[in-house]
Chain A
Amino acid sequence: MWEKKPLLLIALATAAILVGTTITMVLPFAWVNTETDRIASVTPYTPLQQEGRDIYIREGCNNCHTQTIRPLVTEVLRYGDYSKSGEFVYDRPFLWGSKRTGPDLARIGGKYPDAWHYKHMDSPRSMVPKSNMYDYAWLRKSTLDPVMSERKMKVLGFPYTQEQLAQLKGKNELDAVVAYLQKLGSDIAWRKAAEVTIVGELKNPYPDTAHRSMEEWEVIYSEHCAACHGGHLEGEIGPHLDGANYTDEELFSLIFNGIPDGGMPAFSSLGTNKVWKITNFVKYYVQGEDHP
């Protein structure tokens, strides 16, 4: 019957297509981005952050970086608290991505200080030698357009002030990207909540010289710390390090939990063993001494 009536076939096919469409695509609008999943502390992007987001889109960053953390143990360990629907209400379009050639960025905000991002965007491989990310120093050459930015804010319905727009004048595209990255995932206070308290007494497993292995520890230090604190602890993005200023326990805790408000990431995901090795490397490293 329908095999001889094209209009009937089209009507039936359309109906078949619309059933699943209505239930799985239209219906969720009744719950998503409503009071049900609202998070009060989540705020819209400022003009500078939104410009950064638009540059992120323009350069196709989402082709290599995702922005959604799944509620899975290793994922939360690696990237931070899992993503919640209410955190994305101001995201047009969504930028969750589909492939992690590079790491997830949903909670990159506040992980590093601005200086880290500038250095990394200028030349990713200067900090992460084997990275396949290319340089974005050229973003510094382009400036932002407050007129366009105001139009964007109006279309998006985001609040803004003339002062914020005026501030765009002196900024370049890289400033905007860094401002955007620093906002990502930081609207909820997850970093404080994720801090780990080690129960019991902290005991340095490498108490004396017989246990020391500066060569091995230096490899770990170089990989995780040198990009900010320098190969010789001289400091660059982060401060110069002098192990004598801290007790073993203080140093361990600082590295393990980071300094959430100070731009120092937590290294708890490395495990206590590696953190102790870094602690001891910093502790017993002597400036000027030749370390292989």
Chain B
Amino acid sequence: MEKPVYNTDIVRSFVHWSLLWGLVAILVGVIVSLQMVEPDLNFPPYLTFGRLRPIHTNAGIYGWGVGVIFATFIYMVQRLCKTPLWSNKLAKFQLWFFNATIIASAITLLLGYTTSKEYHEMEWPIDVMVVILWVVFAVNILMTILKRQEEQMYISLWYMMAALVGVAILYLVNAAALPVSLFKSYSAYAGTNDANVHWWFGHNAVAMALTAPPLAMFYYFLPKTTGVPIYSHRLSIIAFWSLIFMYLWTGAHHLLWTPVPDWVQTLAMAFSVMLIAPSWGSVFNGYLSMNGQWHQMKENYLVKFLIIGLTFYGLQTLQGPMQAIRSFSAFIHYTDWVPAHIHMGTMGWVSMISYASIYYLVPRIYGRELYSVPLANMHFWLTLVGQLVWSISLWVAGVLQAGMWNATNSDGSLTYTFMETMVEMYPYWWARAAGGFIFFLGIIIFIYNLFMTVRKGKDVVAPIVTAAGRN
């Protein structure tokens, strides 16, 4: 059979733009971390922590995270289906509409047009843009799957399809609002209902945008990189179905001890603990796929990114359920522990897997060998150290803060005022900023290495063999 002509141009473009938005997200992250320790670095009205923090989170999720999803899904779907992308025109439109959406989001958030709902701050006109964008993307991927030349659908395709449906449902329901003007709307839900709907969205956006897609990437790029298939097909089936079934029950673990009905909180707590099983199903499947291949951890920088990324996923999915238990949540919620948890997921799991995927893609879509493996190794260590400094400093800070908030004197009064607890945070916040900066250096080296690969990398002679090992 003739080898189909895959669309790689669009993959290149999505890689470029997602890297740019990733760089912006991390840079803004470093800036807001400094604003927290030095209030004079806030420049109202536009450049304040209150307005920049949503730009950091949304650039991270929608610019970097979703940008990489676009790049890798379009790359994977063509190969897994052995057929070219259904519509190149639609993909081209998607690319520019994606960038327009991200730019419009950044500008409106700077101007203070926000719904205030975390990870969904953009006002309703941008919600409309996001919905159009996602529909265009989903249709293109699904049509490509429908006309595939390979009957059996690989694991990655399951996760991709679940993500396409899941994100659509979550985003549409949570976006419901009553517009007052082009730039102002009020949520369609009020108070406790709004909170419960929002964290159903918030937690499952993590499931559908930051868990299922990186898993799709992991299941595809790990075997491609090591040359050995996934350990157990059956385990991947169990993990997939139980993951997407159980995730949706857990949103209210963000709302333990709040006025949300008790039984909703209890269900969220129970399902959160149960989620350890499907999460670790994938983790074990990944580790066991390395049977007899562990030497590649030393030889192959791509395996390092993938396996350490997976390890962070494993840690994340143990720590998360722990925080979802009422007693532990009572102690730790609202402290700096929580951002430390989130960043282990985003910097450790999602970014590591995204880096690995892009390292795998770039030599293949450009036909060039990677410019420098030592630089890739340095990138790995900066990412790992940056993330660990970031999270460990805030875990310590969170425990300290929680302990001080809860400390009482013998007569039942509070030992510390709020300010006495807050000033203790400054050294840890400085350490966090340093961790973020190390991580930032990592992506700078990454982008430089990719740039030099495209400019000066040696041409690849078919079949593609990269420093990453066999293809």
- A residues near B (Cβ < 8 Å) are 3-4, 6-7, 9-10, 13-14, 16-21, 23-25, 28-29, 31-33, 37, 54, 57-64, 66, 68, 70-75, 77-78, 83-85, 87-104, 124-125, 128, 130-136, 138, 148, 151-152, 155-156, 223-224, 268-274
B residues within 8 A CB of A125? 39
Given A32-B193, A60-B54, A96-B195, also A20-B145 (CB < 8 A): no
How far is B114's CA from A58's CA once the two chains are assembled, in angstroms? 6
Between A103, A131, A134, A272, the greatest number of chain B beta carbons within 10 A of the residue's beta carbon is seen for A134
Tell me how far the C-beta of A148 lies from the nearest C-beta in chain B, rounded to whole angstroms: 7
* Beta-carbon nearest neighbor of A153 in chain B: B180
Of B184, B248, B250, most A-chain CB atoms within 10 Å: B248
Query: Could you tell me if A70 and B257 are in contact, using CB atoms closer than 8 angstroms?
Result: yes
Cβ contact of B191, chosen from A73, A91, A135, cutoff 8 A: A91
B-side contacts of A29, CB under 8 Å: 193
On whether A151 and B181 interact (CB within 8 A), knowing A74-B406, A85-B191, A93-B187, the answer reads yes
Q: How far is the CA of A93 from the CA of B118 in the complex (A)?
A: 11
| B161 lies within 8 A of chain A by Cβ | yes
The answer to whether B244 and A6 touch across the interface, beta carbons within 8 angstroms, is no
Besides the contacts A28-B192, A93-B198, what 13 more A-B pairs have beta carbons closer than 8 Å? Answer: A28-B196, A32-B196, A57-B114, A60-B53, A70-B258, A89-B191, A93-B189, A128-B419, A130-B419, A134-B42, A148-B180, A151-B181, A152-B186
Residues of B within 8 A of A70 (CB): 257-258, 330
- Asked whether B409 lies within 8 Å of A134 as measured between CB atoms, the reply is no
B161 with A13: CB separation less than 8 A:
yes
Residues of B within 8 A of A32 (CB): 191-193, 196, 260-261
Chain A facing B: main interface SS: helix
- CB < 8 Å neighbour of B39 from A3, A19, A66, A132: A132
Verify B241–A16 contact, CB threshold 8 A: yes
Say yes or no: is B396 at the interface (Cβ < 8 Å to chain A).
no
The 4 closest A-B pairs by CB, nearest first: A60-B50, A271-B413, A88-B191, A20-B248
Closest to B404 in A: A74
Q: Which of the residues A83, A223, A273 comes within 8 Å of B258, measured between beta carbons?
A: A83
Q: Are B196 and A224 in contact (CB under 8 A)?
A: no
Q: With the chains together, A13 CA to B167 CA distance in Å?
A: 12
Residue of A nearest to B189 (CB): A92
Task: Give bound CA distance, A99 to B333, whole Å.
Answer: 8
Interface size class of B (residues with CB under 8 A): 35 or more
* B259 and A93 within 8 A (CB): no
Given the contacts A20-B249, A24-B251, A156-B186, A94 and B191 also touching, CB distance less than 8 Å: yes
What are 27 inter-chain pairs, A to B, with CB distance below 8 A?
A17-B245, A20-B246, A20-B271, A21-B248, A33-B193, A58-B112, A71-B257, A77-B408, A85-B260, A88-B192, A89-B191, A90-B190, A92-B189, A92-B194, A94-B195, A95-B116, A96-B258, A99-B336, A100-B334, A128-B419, A132-B37, A134-B48, A151-B181, A152-B184, A156-B186, A272-B413, A273-B411
User: Which residues on B sit within 8 Å (CB–CB) of A95?
Assistant: 116
Give the residue of B45, B162, B248 whose beta carbon is less than 8 angstroms from that of A19.
Answer: B248
A64 touches B192 (CB 8 A): no
Inside 8 A of A66's CB, which chain B residues have their CB? 334
**B254 neighbours in A (Cβ, 8 Å):** 98
Q: List residues of chain A with CB within 8 A of the CB of B161.
A: 6, 9-10, 13
Asked whether any CB of chain A lies closer than 8 Å to the CB of B267, the reply is yes
Is there contact, CB below 8 Å, between B53 and A63?
yes
B residues within 8 A CB of A128? 419
Closest chain-A Cβ to B38's Cβ sits at a distance in Å of 8
B20 at interface (Cβ–Cβ under 8 A)? Answer: no
Query: A3–B153 contact, CB under 8 A?
Result: yes
User: Is the pair A138, B335 in contact by a Cβ cutoff of 8 Å?
Assistant: no
Smallest Cβ-Cβ distance to B166: which chain A residue: A17
Does B414 belong to the interface (CB within 8 Å)?
yes
Whether A23 and B267, one on each chain, are in contact in the complex, defined by CB atoms closer than 8 angstroms, is yes
CB of A272 to closest CB in B, whole Å: 6
- Is the pair B251, A25 in contact by a Cβ cutoff of 8 Å? yes
Residues on B with C-beta less than 8 A from A151 are 180-181
Chain A residues lying within 8 Å of B157, measured Cβ to Cβ, are 6
Assess whether B165 is in contact with A14, with CB atoms less than 8 Å apart.
Answer: yes
Q: Is the CB of A16 within 8 A of B413?
A: no
Question: Does any Cβ of A come within 8 Å of B59's Cβ?
Answer: no
The A-contacting residues of B in range 393-435, CB under 8 angstroms, are 405-409, 411-414, 417-419, 422-423
Determine whether the beta carbon of A24 is less than 8 Å from that of B249: yes
Contact between chains at A99 and B339 (CB < 8 Å): yes
The answer, yes or no, to whether B200 is at the interface (CB within 8 Å) is yes
Shortest Cβ distance from B313 into chain A, in angstroms? 21
Is B411 within 8 A of A24, CB to CB? no
Given A32-B192, A54-B184, A272-B411, the answer on whether A59 and B264 have CB atoms closer than 8 Å is no
Docked-complex contact B196 and A270, CB < 8 angstroms: no
Q: Hey, which chain B residues are within 8 Å of A75, CB to CB?
A: 405
A270 to B408, CA, bound (A): 10
Are A224 and B39 closer than 8 Å at their CB atoms? no
Please pick, from A31, A64, A156, A223, the residue contacting B261 in the complex, using a CB distance under 8 A.
Answer: A31
- A148 CA to B185 CA, complexed, in Å: 12
When the two chains form their complex, are residues B338 and A155 in contact, meaning their CB atoms are under 8 A apart? no
| Chain A residue nearest to B407 in the complex (CB) | A74
Asked whether any CB of chain A lies closer than 8 Å to the CB of B299, the reply is: no
Closest approach, in angstroms, between the C-beta of B342 and any C-beta of chain A?
10
Q: List residues of B (185-217) whose CB comes within 8 Å of A's CBs.
A: 186-187, 189-198, 200
Binary interface encoding of chain B residues 146-185 relative to chain A, with 1 for a CB under 8 A from any of its CBs, else 0: 1000011100011001100110010001000011110010
Which residues does chain A contribute within 8 Å of B39, judged by CB atoms? 124-125, 131-134
Are A25 and B408 in contact (CB-based, < 8 A)? no
Measured CA separation A62–B40 after assembly (Å): 20
Residues on A with C-beta less than 8 A from B255 are 96
Bound CA–CA A160/B423 (angstroms): 43
Partner of B418, one of A6, A57, A78: A78
Residue of chain A at shortest CB distance from B419:
A128
What B residues does A132 contact at CB under 8 A? 36-39, 422
Residues of chain A lying within 8 A (CB to CB) of residue B251: 24-25
Q: Which residue of B lies closest to A70 (CB)?
A: B257
A100 to B332, CA, bound (A): 11
- Chain B positions within 8 Å of A7 at CB level: 146
| B412: A residues at CB distance < 8 A | 77, 271
Q: Which residues of A contact B261 (CB under 8 A)?
A: 28, 31-32
Chain A's closest residue to B255 (CB) is A96
CB neighbours (8 Å) of A148 from chain B are 180-181
Query: Any chain A CB within 8 A of the CB of B359?
Result: no
